[in-house]
């Protein structure tokens, strides 16, 4: 637990450092009296993106979290975006769920596959197999270091034309893609996604509006929204620079399951609320780093 908490802490620290919207949201929540300090925020889940090639992808990255007590749950497939994903339940309800997606590299055009493999072929064995998984510093360094050479700007642009997930992952690797603020336990007036979105927009945050400013599962019990990813000044091979999408922040409202709606509010825990994810919601949330959304800034 201790080691896992430190690994998660390291992920959050580096993510906050490169995503200014995190502090913007937290400061606004404090200023408005929704919370007194950041530690009160419930982190619904965090998410990673991976490349589906031998030695890498979900099967590699998930081993870190399975080792520390997470369990693999449902599978999701995204035909048009050429992605697969799983979510993982934490060993303790106080910890975030994890969502790991993977690019189906074999489904892409031969040219794009060639570009991706020119980078990922540098990885000749599953790097997680030789990682000392109980060594916090080693795991933290692994999650935040290059698995392949710095991409060229030309390759980045060629990938983005066919898959903006591919270009994001080739540059950003295992940096946290987002963390997710649970809104359902906040004070009345902020504890539903519509009210929370209004609060975010009032404070100048720009929301992903693909499929609407919030996405709702068919059962009506999982409602999600997200900011559009902030731009980071990226340096490419040979010193070329361009502003590209970094990471974003997500917000989730998990409603109480029909079987438990009669329970008194103070008895409601995570176990009484809608679990898991929803493919149709996720399909739109991926676009938080796509130029169709980031161009709105
Ligand atoms: C993940 C998008 C999906 C969710 O909660 O459904 C997602 C990504 O952008 O990598 O986060
Ligand atoms: Ni998410």
Q: Ligand 1 within 6 A of 282 CB?
A: yes
> In this structure, which residue's CA is closest to atom 2 in ligand 1?
286
Kindly state if the Cβ of 177 falls inside 6 Å of ligand 1: yes
Residues by chain with Cβ below 5 Å of ion ligand 2: 47, 250
Residues of the chain with pLDDT under 50: none
Atom of ligand 1 minimally distant from the CA of 285: 2
Ligand 1 contact via 101 beta carbon (within 6 Å): yes
- CATH number at 27 reads 3.10.180.50
Q: Which of 282, 284, 290, 294 to mutate to test ligand 1, by most ligand atoms within 8 A of the CB atom? A: 282
pTM higher than 0.90 for the full model? yes
The answer for 135, left when phi > 0, alpha when psi is -120 to 50, beta otherwise, is beta
**Predicted pLDDT at 105:** 98
The residue to mutate among 52, 250, 253, 276, having the most atoms of ligand 1 within 8 angstroms of its beta carbon, is 250
- pLDDT score for 1: 67
> Residue 172 corresponds to which tokens in the numbers above?
């950003």
Q: Are 68 and 9 in contact (CB under 8 A)?
A: no
What would the two tokens of residue 71 be? Answer: 């369990």
Question: What single string gives the DSSP state of each residue in 63-119?
Answer: HHHHHTT-EEEEEEEETTTTEEEEEEE-SSTTSPEEEEEEE-GGGS-HHHHHHHHHH
Per the DSSP assignment, residues forming a β-bridge with 101 are: 49, 85
Residue 1, SS3? coil
The ligand that comes nearest to the alpha carbon of residue 179 is: 2
Q: Verify whether ligand 1 is closer than 6 Å to residue 168 (CB atom).
A: no
Q: Which of 99, 100, 221, 225 to probe ligand 1 with, by most ligand atoms within 8 A of CB?
A: 99
Q: Is the CB of 120 under 6 A from ligand 1?
A: no
Nearest CA to ligand 1 atom 9: 286
| CA angle, 205 then 253 then 168, to 5° | 55
Q: What is the pLDDT of residue 176?
A: 97
At 240 the pLDDT is: 98
Task: Ligand 1, residue 282: give the atom nearest the CA.
Answer: 6
Residues pairing with 249 in the sheet = 179
What range defines the domain where residue 74 resides? 2-294
Which atom number of ligand 1 is nearest to the Cα of residue 48? 10
Q: How far is the CA of 269 from the centre of ligand 2 (A)?
A: 20
Q: Produce one character per residue of 255-283: b if its CB has 16 or more CB atoms within 10 Å, e if not.
A: bbbeeeeeeeeeebebeebbeebbeebbb
**Per-residue confidence (pLDDT) for residue 297, from 0 to 100:** 85
- Give the nearest ligand 1 atom to 226 CA: 11
Work out how many domains the chain is built from and give that number.
Answer: 1
Q: Which atom of ligand 1 is nearest to 286's Cα?
A: 9
Backbone angles phi, psi at 178, to 5 degrees: -170, 160
């Amino acid at each position: 637990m201790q080691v896992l908490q430190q690994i998660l802490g390291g992920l959050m620290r580096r993510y906050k450092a490169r995503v200014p919207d995190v502090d913007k949201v937290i400061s606004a929540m404090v200023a408005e009296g929704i919370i007194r300090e950041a530690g009160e925020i419930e982190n619904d889940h965090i998410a990673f993106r991976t490349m589906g090639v031998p030695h890498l992808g979900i099967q590699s990255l998930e081993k870190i979290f399975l080792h520390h007590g997470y369990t693999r749950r449902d599978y999701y497939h995204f035909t048009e975006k050429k992605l697969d994903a799983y979510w993982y339940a934490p060993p303790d309800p106080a910890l975030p769920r994890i969502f790991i997606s993977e690019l189906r590299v074999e489904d892409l055009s031969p040219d794009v596959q060639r570009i991706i493999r020119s980078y990922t072929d540098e990885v000749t064995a599953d790097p997680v197999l030789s990682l000392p998984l109980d060594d916090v510093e080693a795991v933290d360094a692994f999650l935040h270091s290059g698995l392949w050479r710095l991409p060229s700007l030309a390759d980045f642009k060629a990938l983005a034309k066919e898959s903006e997930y591919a270009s994001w992952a080739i540059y950003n690797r295992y940096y946290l893609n987002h963390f997710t603020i649970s809104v359902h336990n906040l004070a009345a007036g902020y504890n539903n996604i519509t009210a929370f979105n209004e609060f975010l927009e009032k404070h100048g945050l720009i929301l992903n509006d693909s499929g609407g400013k919030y996405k709702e599962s068919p059962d009506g019990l999982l409602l999600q929204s997200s900011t559009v990813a902030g731009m980071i000044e990226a340096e490419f091979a040979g010193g070329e620079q361009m502003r590209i999408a970094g990471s974003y922040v997500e917000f989730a409202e998990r409603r109480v399951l029909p079987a438990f709606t009669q329970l008194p509010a103070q008895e409601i825990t995570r176990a009484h609320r809608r679990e898991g994810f929803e493919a149709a919601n996720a399909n739109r949330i991926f676009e938080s780093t796509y130029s169709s959304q980031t161009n709105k800034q």
